[in-house]
Structure 1
Amino acid sequence: MAKNRYDFYLKKCLLPVPPEKLQIKINNANKTVTLINGQQVNLLKKAELSDVEFECLLPQAKYPFAVYKSKFKRPGYYLDYFEKLKTKRKPFQFIVSRYLPSGKMLFRTNMKVSMEDYTIVEDAGEGFDVKVKIKLKQYRSFGTKTLKMTKNGKKTKKKKVKEELPPRETENSPAPASPQSYTVVKGDCLWKIAKHFYGDGSLYTVIYNANQSVIGGNPNLIYPDQVLIIPPE
């Protein structure tokens, strides 16, 4: 009997066994204050960064319930990958896809995160499989603006940098073999993105169907800084 399926990706790495539990804590910075008349009010502020925690199993043997993108990989491969995510100090995409037994996707969790902590657990009583407790932190992009002042006190104009899609080797390059993430920039449309990744703009519906929860009901309306999943064709 077919079961529900979960796919957990850390950047481009698919975890072989989906964690049994996923905890995402949505933090906020709201503050309750007491007025001079004794009444309390809640000051609503922007949400703080979310925390993500889960524990994953890394098998030493090829179990029938484990899933691999190409071939079986031992725990050492994943531990090296986690270490690189930590030491490179760069954000990456955390993606969880949930599927019904029919293959229909329910919804996705798709957020940019950083690797905060992970704990490696080995229990001789349970064989040589490795468990890893992972803590992620939501990441928000930020930047600074610089203004150069001339001697007469006037601001100089900043040169605009054109944002472009990531390079693709040729128009006939194969479509992505596994889900990728793409951040929308000014001037993008789904047709243009599909043309870049698949070589055929008419396949924009593939991207739209995978990102309806992000885009909404109108595939013609996408906005800069939205993060989209680019599924295999």
Structure 2
Amino acid sequence: MYYFFLDDKMLPVPPPKMEVKVNNKNKTVNLINEGEINIIKSPGLTEVSFEVMMPNEFYPFALYDNGVSNFITRLSGQQPTITYAKNYIDGFEKLKTGNNPFRLIIARFNQKFEYLSDTNMLVTLEEYNVGESSEYGFDWQVPMRFKQYRPYATKELEITTNENGEQVARVKQTRPTTKEVPKAYKVAANMTLWEACRRASGGSLDWKAVAELNGIRDNNVLKGTVLNLK
């Protein structure tokens, strides 16, 4: 089972396939009497692309905006709700035009819902297309392409004078900003424990440790549950 998150939104239907391209920056040159050589350089930016289904009607297999399957929602006695394709497309447009990177998170679980691995990458949305066809019915097919984002910034020099009267320059060190993890987190909607931990901490919490701390034996938590995180 795969779960795809773009920023704080989960895609309702996981794409059937995904392509990850690691761009090469190596350079090939020809040397006199030596022939062709390969100059190894750092890899380029990674690109991720996939095509996702955007439903415009109810499907029991789809995971809508509250992040929990409609089957579980029905068991809890609640009425399943649908988030229509246009709502997701509006969100994609904000990511495209917002001029800010965001998190692409892909979580992988086996059939027993045991955690396998995840991809957590800072990206930009390079392009997306909306396809409508009688083949898709009322649903939309949306091919999307993302590119890895590497933070960068200009360096600020601080000039000081040492004991010999000489001016010395050093680069000012800035402390990285991280999301502070609260002591407790109240779940706002039915969701998986993994998703609740991600929303509370930005991805720094181990959801298995939180499950053990709170005596939770499955991966689903209901709206209103208060999780102890520390």
TM-score (structure 1 length as normaliser): 0.69
Structure 1 residues 45 and 15, CA gap change in structure 2 (3 angstroms): same
Note if 1:174 corresponds to 2:180.
no
1:73 corresponds in structure 2 to 83
Query: Which letter does structure 2 place at the counterpart of 1:47?
Result: P
SS state at 1:80 partner:
helix
Structure 1 residues 92 and 203, CA gap change in structure 2 (3 angstroms): same
SS state at 1:111 partner:
strand
Note if 1:45 corresponds to 2:45.
no
1:229 corresponds in structure 2 to none
Query: Which letter does structure 2 place at the counterpart of 1:115?
Result: L
Structure 1 residues 174 and 153, CA gap change in structure 2 (3 angstroms): farther
CA contact (8 A) 2:158 2:172 kept: no
1:17 corresponds in structure 2 to 13
The 5 A counterparts of 1:71-220 are 71-147=81-157, 154=167, 163=176, 165-167=178-180, 171-174=183-186, 177=196, 179-180=198-199, 182=202, 203=210
Structure 1 residues 179 and 21, CA gap change in structure 2 (3 angstroms): same
CA contact (8 A) 2:155 2:172 kept: no
Compute the RMSD of aligned alpha carbons.
3.3
1:142 and 1:164 mapped to 2: Cα distance? Answer: 14
CA contact (8 A) 1:147 1:155 kept: no
1:157 and 1:40 mapped to 2: Cα distance? Answer: 41
SS state at 2:129 partner:
strand
Q: Which segments of 5 or more consecutive residues in structure 1 lack a partner in the other structure?
A: 184-192, 207-231
Name the structure with the higher strand share. 2
Offset at 1:76? Answer: 1.0
The 5 A counterparts of 1:1-16 are 5-16=1-12
2:212 and 2:30 mapped to 1: Cα distance? Answer: 52
CA contact (8 A) 2:125 2:146 kept: yes
Structure 1 residues 205 and 42, CA gap change in structure 2 (3 angstroms): farther
Structure 1 residues 88 and 106, CA gap change in structure 2 (3 angstroms): same
Structure 1 residues 37 and 157, CA gap change in structure 2 (3 angstroms): closer
Deviations 1:102-144 (A, max 9, x none): 1112211111100111111111343110111111000001111
SS state at 1:82 partner:
helix
Structure with higher Rg: it is 2
2:89 and 2:184 mapped to 1: Cα distance? Answer: 35
Aligned residue pairs, count = 189
SS state at 1:61 partner:
coil
Give % identity: 35
